[in-house]
Chains A and B, each alone.
Chain A
Amino acid sequence: MSEKPLIKLTQAGYQTTDRWLVRDVSLSVTQGEIVTLIGPNGSGKSTTAKMALGILKPTTGEAFRAPGLKVSYVPQKLMIDWTLPLDVAHFFQLTGRLSIQAQHHAIEATGISHLLDQELRSLSGGEFQRVLIARAIAREPDLLVLDEPVQGVDFSGENELYQLIGTIRDDLQCGILMISHDLHVVMAKTDQVICLNGHVCCSGTPVTVSQTDEFQALFGLRGHADIALYQHHHDHQHSADGSIAHNHHSGCSHD
């Protein structure tokens, strides 16, 4: 496993004309590593991901993207208009030609072979997510970015998807950057969790957390090791408008 980062943000911040969307974020994703960004809606997760991908240029700080990095992106939602005749097979080649072999592999891994000639519009939420992920795998990326990958998927499907994401990392040896608004449920396979709320609230490995009683309780309850509880206590409180009210002067340290 190489230690050179695929993407890296150093104290990056992004400011629109009237406010900061996110400030002081540092993160890096290396090959074979899964990094999860969590935080409530509007906490700057997507902005952070966009800076990391080079779509947005940080107002402050630095963004690094390894030269020639091949990225696959699984967007949060995709509205397919009626006017677009787009079936799964054509959707695969959306941003570039893919080898037949890679496509076969991805289709098999995600179990979507029966959907290939379906129009994207006719797919259910779960099927759609699978197709999005299949396309992303078929590109054989260096870095896979997933924005809310389990949104609109029922619970058993959620489990399967998390398992699939773990398998992808093992198969492709790519870095994975995942975005989730769910503050409580994060993948056990995640190497690093970064909690955002306009800034980095806390970060760390979920592994240490996974030995806690809370995790055991969840583990027993849900019956799957792919889901971990990442519990954290803030030393500050977020008021309703998202600004931070510190309890003491120690800043943002976390347990």
Chain B
Amino acid sequence: MDRLLTIITVGAAMIDDFFVRALLAGIGLALMAGPLGCFVIWKRMAYFGDTLSHGALLGIALGLLFELHLELSVFLVCSLIAVTLFLLQRRASISSDALLGILAHASLAIGLVVLSLMTWIRVDLMGLLFGDILAVSHHDLTVIAGTLVITSVLLSLTWRSLFAATVSRELAEAEGLNPQRAEIIFMLLIASVIAVAIKIVGVLLITSLLIIPAATARRISLSPGQMMLVSSIIGVFAVVLGLTGSLNLDTPSGPSIVVASVGLFLISMTPLAHQIRLQFRRRIT
């Protein structure tokens, strides 16, 4: 009993440490980003993710302007952009590539203009753009934990439809799945991950947290489920390495995490990845 109490006390004390909070937030984020990132690269939606994350800055600006909860306003703006894109792509009068470019830079630029017009608020722009490990509060941890739970539940419910539609939308629909619903849920999940990721990696680099661990995981995975799991684990590694580097070298947290994940990706390009793959295969057969 005493021991348990000690553990709890020590644990509570640790969460008071800003670095531990940043680590926990980053790990939670990486766990969510793993499977979602796999879908982002499977569905070739990297640029879509970029557009949403640029939109996050507009979300922050509007949130500050109207004094809303910041994560909520980012989530709402990103969701709005996602749904707009989804509807516009059905019409397809403009190529989706151009559309994404227009929306991405429009929302980033409007966000920056609005932020600089609000002279009464001092904003740490570097922190917003590239992440700031000092910024993670207790409240943020709660929000991330909640998002992690919701993401896990929704993704485990919809992943089969989503995956089947990734392989062949026609096939999924013909065999009675509902890919459209799964895709809308997926986009909302991306929006929520972006909303909670800003403090850790910053607006400009969020997509890399989705894409790089997933691409790394692809090198060693044999099945889609395994790739999602491995992607999460690699993301956690990158976060721990990156944040440690950020603390010791006094570098911005976002770029540090991205540099770490690129490092892991490069390692996966070496023959080592092939060895791991063989190990996985041997275990199966």
Q: In whole angstroms, what is the CA distance A84 to B165 when docked?
A: 13
B223 touches A73 (CB 8 A): no
Q: In whole angstroms, what is the CA distance A94 to B215 when docked?
A: 22
**A56's closest neighbor in chain B, by CB?**
B173
Mask for B138-167, Cβ within 8 A of A = 1, else 0? 000000000000000000000010011011
Q: In whole angstroms, what is the CA distance A85 to B176 when docked?
A: 24
Given A75-B168, A94-B163, A94-B164, A81-B42 contact (CB < 8 Å): yes
A73 → B minimal CB distance (Å): 4
Q: Which of B172, B175, B215, B285 contacts A83 (CB 8 A)?
A: B215
A87 touches B41 (CB 8 A): no
A85 touches B175 (CB 8 A): no
Q: Which of B163, B174, B221, B227 contacts A145 (CB 8 A)?
A: B174
A86 touches B223 (CB 8 A): yes
Q: In whole angstroms, what is the CA distance A95 to B166 when docked?
A: 11
Is residue B113 contacting chain A, with contact meaning CB distance below 8 A? no
Which residues of the other chain, B, contact A82 by a CB distance below 8 angstroms? Answer: 218
Given A55-B174, A84-B167, A90-B224 contact (CB < 8 Å): yes
B42 touches A83 (CB 8 A): yes
Interface of B is mostly: helix
Residues 31-83 (chain A) with a chain B CB within 8 angstroms: 50, 53, 55, 70-73, 75, 78, 80-83
Q: In whole angstroms, what is the CA distance A53 to B160 when docked?
A: 20
A80 touches B167 (CB 8 A): yes
Is residue A160 contacting chain B, with contact meaning CB distance below 8 A? no
Is residue B20 contacting chain A, with contact meaning CB distance below 8 A? no
Which interface residue of A50, A84, A95, A117 has the most chain B CB atoms within 10 A? A95
Is residue B70 contacting chain A, with contact meaning CB distance below 8 A? no
B170 touches A55 (CB 8 A): yes
B222 touches A71 (CB 8 A): no
Mask for A127-150, Cβ within 8 A of B = 1, else 0? 000000000000100000100000
> By the criterion of a CB under 8 Å from any partner CB, how many residues of chain B are at the interface?
30
Which residues of the other chain, B, contact A117 by a CB distance below 8 angstroms? Answer: 281, 284-285
B171 touches A95 (CB 8 A): yes
**A120's closest neighbor in chain B, by CB?**
B167
Q: In whole angstroms, what is the CA distance A71 to B170 when docked?
A: 12
**A132's closest neighbor in chain B, by CB?**
B171
Residues 25-57 (chain B) with a chain A CB within 8 angstroms: 41-42, 44
A121 → B minimal CB distance (Å): 12
Given A53-B174, A71-B176, A95-B160, A85-B167 contact (CB < 8 Å): no
Is residue A220 contacting chain B, with contact meaning CB distance below 8 A? no
A78 → B minimal CB distance (Å): 5
**A86's closest neighbor in chain B, by CB?**
B224
A95 touches B215 (CB 8 A): no
What are some 11 contacts across the A-B interface (CB < 8 A)? A71-B175, A73-B171, A78-B171, A82-B218, A83-B215, A83-B218, A85-B224, A86-B167, A90-B224, A94-B171, A139-B175
